[in-house]
Chains A and B, each alone.
Chain A
Amino acid sequence: ETGVTQTPRHLVMGMTNKKSLKCEQHLGHNAMYWYKQSAKKPLELMFVYNFKEQTENNSVPSRFSPECPNSSHLFLHLHTLQPEDSALYLCASSPGLAGVHEQFFGPGTRLTVL
């Protein structure tokens, strides 16, 4: 598959569960991003990785833990989430930080926390 893929597409979890979101890009890009999109707020940048190194943590609570094992894969590990964390989580990639303006987005994971 080409582009940016995300799995799962939908996830329902309890507050005590531990789950992970996966993102994979097949574009040869070096920068990857996690965004949170909730109904009442603008698209919020959560984390940025460039060449597998985290370059941005936008004051995200520690219950969200990112992992970037290589430039093609990005994970978001979730534990002890709150109902207000329910949102659409988008992954994106760009050629590098210099091309940050042209991000390619995945379809998103719709997360519901019960």
Chain B
Amino acid sequence: AQRVTQPEKLLSVFKGAPVELKCNYSYSGSPELFWYVQYSRQRLQLLLRHISRESIKGFTADLNKGETSFHLKKPFAQEEDSAMYYCALLIQGAQKLVFGQGTRLTINP
């Protein structure tokens, strides 16, 4: 089955601390994964994609096929990182995204 699991509904860390949002997937094909973010009173938007291996707003995510994971990391959290984060898996052929349930990240001052 094609599935994306974000085990933490809520995550709270202090400003300046490292943050890691977990994402695990189940997919028989070659995975392409993405992180979407929704800041307060803003729309859901693409944050980063694994295939471009980029760092956006200090966040990085590495695809680990052995562990079927795509965790989102940032070494030093900032208050403006508080948001809802969704991990998404591209279903090849069908050309659609399957989203995880989301993790609400709160950065405490």
A58: nearest residue on chain B (CB-CB)? B96
Compute how far the CA of A56 lies from the CA of B32 in the bound complex, rounded to whole angstroms: 20
Give me 5 A-to-B residue pairs in the complex whose CB atoms sit less than 8 angstroms apart, sorted by A's number. Answer: A4-B43, A43-B86, A45-B98, A48-B95, A100-B90
Report if B46 contacts A (CB, 8 A): yes
B49 touches A42 (CB 8 A): no
B75 to chain A, nearest CB (A): 26
**Interface magnitude class on chain B:** 20 to 34
- Find residues 66-94 in chain A having any chain B CB closer than 8 Å to their own CB: 90, 92
- Find residues 75-109 in chain B having any chain A CB closer than 8 Å to their own CB: 86, 88, 90, 94-102
B44: nearest residue on chain A (CB-CB)? A105
B89: nearest residue on chain A (CB-CB)? A101
Interface residues of B (CB under 8 A from A): 4, 32, 34, 43-46, 49, 86, 88, 90, 94-102
Majority secondary structure of chain B interface residues (helix, strand, loop or mixed): strand
A41 touches B44 (CB 8 A): no
A48 touches B96 (CB 8 A): yes
Give me 6 other A-B pairs in contact (C-beta within 8 A), A42-B99, A100-B97, A103-B97 excluded: A43-B102, A45-B98, A56-B94, A97-B95, A100-B95, A104-B45
B99: nearest residue on chain A (CB-CB)? A43
**Interface magnitude class on chain A:** 20 to 34
Compute how far the CA of A72 lies from the CA of B49 in the bound complex, rounded to whole angstroms: 26
B45 neighbours in A (Cβ, 8 Å): 104-105
B88 neighbours in A (Cβ, 8 Å): 101
A3 neighbours in B (Cβ, 8 Å): 43
B96 touches A102 (CB 8 A): no
